[in-house]
Structure 1
Amino acid sequence: MKLAVSGKGGVGKTTFSSLLIRALNSSGKHVLAIDADPDANLAAAVGIKNADQIIPIAEMKDLIFERTEARPGTIGGFFKLNPKVDDLPDTLSAKFENIKLMRLGGVKKGGAGCICPESTLLRALVMHVVLARNEVVVMDMEAGIEHLGRGTAKAVDKLLVVVEPGRRSIDTAEHIRSLASQIGLTQIAVIGNKIRGKKDEDFLKNNLKDFNFLGFIPYDNALIEADLNGIAPFDANSSAVEIVMEMVKKL
């Protein structure tokens, strides 16, 4: 099963991704987690120790040079467009129980979709984990779907879009669906987060009528306290854990 998680910044996308990853792990699955959001720290949310010391692959200059035969930060020139990446998930992942986690990082030069050694390696890696790995793959994406190409999108079983009750969150969900449709990714489900009651739930249903809702996670102070205390959301005393476990069964 290959899953990609997206949503506007601040909606709780990484919190949900970590809950999903840990729920899959607790159900006996081997999970390959991909942190593809440069502004998030999925490793800490999962509960991996010393998460802040994990070096993003996009910053591993020697590795990028070895695999692409071009120095990071360069644009143009000659370099390999199909670098070897099949060994990276096993050699570069941080481990937690049955979870392997890779942090991609961001490409700081050249803009989105640039033809540069860093982005070439990251795209090749994402293509490999989606098409060739036999674990469950969960990718915590940016607000868009930057790392997904047309070839990989068709192999993604579900794009999970996290939304909160709010106009900007709804607009982002529509934008993500538009981007996804352009590369043939049509299997989309929505998760409502930070739900304070039926009014919030109805607001999302009424404004995203033609979306399929996977479920709703309540606004929970336990999750906020867990974040403040550096505790993984899955280890918090929150109803969100059981709710996400039920989502896993649906998936």
Structure 2
Amino acid sequence: LVEERTGATAGNQFYHLNPKVDDIPEKYGKVCNGVRLLVLGTVETGGGGCVCPEHVMLKRIINNLVLRREDVVILDMEAGLEHLGRGTTEGVDAFIVVIEPGARSVQTYKNVKRLAKDLGVAQVKVVANKVRNEDDENFIRERIPQEDLLGMIHYNTEVIDADRQGKSPYDFSKTVTDEIIKIKEKIGRQ
């Protein structure tokens, strides 16, 4: 951390902490299959108090990655709207919201879209997950604008089996892999 003296007198010194974050990805990230992974934090214990200082640091790291580098940055955030409310994700180009075929999930997408607009993020896309049948597909298509729907990943017991074994569904199920590739190709065309 770099200390900057701000408006201090000899007897009453104030310091503003200006965290240096540009070296954090290389120093603490782990490379897997050519992708640098960096776990940026979560609440570890119940009753631990406010995590505001941690969010300030996360925002600094994310802004450095998003605004000052040429890298593609993918943030896999926990479900919920807290990151949007805190502005942690300010400066991103797009959000991809993973929803399930249910009313609450669709409402979450609408809330993300509204909050993203407040942050200046115009693109909010959707991937529907755990889609069981044609009724679920129709439910999604009726509620999500076509231009926002990237694709659907169908309910698949192979995904559950992969999770139980601690394996990636991408490596475990050809069906899921094919659905993900279609979504990736659609993203590439946009």
TM-score by length of 1: 0.62
2:103 aligned residue: 167
Q: Tell me by how many angstroms 1:149 deviates.
A: 3.1
In 1, Cα distance between equivalents of 2:147 and 2:174:
26
Contact 1:220 1:238 in 2 (8 A): no
| Aligned counterpart in structure 2 of residue 194 of structure 1, from 130, 136, 158 | 130
What is the aligned partner in structure 2 of residue 144 from structure 1? 81
Aligned mates of 1:93, 1:140 — CA distance in 2: 15
Give the superposition deviation at 1:131.
Answer: 1.1
Range with greater deviation from structure 2 (230-239 or 201-210): 201-210
Cα RMSD, aligned residues only:
2.4
Confirm whether residue 109 of structure 1 aligns to residue 49 of structure 2.
Answer: yes
Matched AA of 2:30:
A
Unmatched runs of 5 consecutive residues or more in structure 1:
1-65, 70-76
Structure 1 residues 157-166 or 127-136, which shifts more? Answer: 127-136
State the alpha-carbon separation in 1 of the partners of residues 182 and 2 from structure 2.
Answer: 41
Aligned partners of 1:68, 1:99: CA distance in 2, in Å?
Answer: 33
User: Could you report, residue by residue, the CA deviation over 1:57-87 in whole angstroms, capped at 9, with x for unpaired residues?
Assistant: xxxxxxxxx4679xxxxxxx8542x421111
Match of 2:65 in 1: 129
Structure 2: give runs of 5+ residues left out of the alignment.
5-13
Pair 1:121–1:225, CA change in 2 (3 A): same
Q: Which protein is bigger by CA-based radius of gyration?
A: 2
The alignment partner of 1:200 has SS state of: helix
Among all aligned residue pairs of Structure 1 and Structure 2, give the percentage whose two residues are the same amino acid. 33
- Give the direction of change, closer, same or farther, for the CA distance of 1:67–1:139 in structure 2 (3 Å limit): farther
Change (3 A) 1:210 1:237: closer
Alignment-derived partner of residue 217 in structure 1: 153
Give the deviation of 1:210 after TM superposition: 7.0
User: How far apart, CA to CA, are the structure 1 residues paired with 2:123 and 2:2?
Assistant: 33
Residue type of the alignment partner of 1:247: I
Which amino acid in the other structure matches residue 232 of structure 1?
Answer: S
Report the residue type matching 2:81 in the other structure. G
Q: Name the SS of the counterpart of 1:250 in structure 2.
A: helix
Q: Which residue of the other structure, out of 19, 22, 35, is the alignment partner of 1:86?
A: 22
Partner of 1:30: none
Match of 1:250 in 2: 186
Aligned amino acid, residue 185 of structure 1: V
* Aligned partner of residue 240 in structure 1, secondary structure: helix
Q: Specify the code of the residue in structure 2 equivalent to 1:223.
A: V
The answer on whether the counterparts of 2:93 and 2:122 sit within 8 Å (CA) in structure 1 is no
Structure with more relative contact order (C-alpha pairs < 8 Å, separation 6 or more): 1
Count of residue pairs brought into register by the alignment: 172
110 and 104 in structure 1: CA distance in 2 versus 1, 3 angstrom threshold: same
Classify 1:78/1:238 alpha carbon distance in 2 versus 1 (closer, same or farther; 3 Å).
Answer: farther
Q: In structure 1, how many angstroms separate the alpha carbons of the residues matched to 2:141 and 2:3?
A: 46
Tell me by how many angstroms 1:121 deviates.
1.5
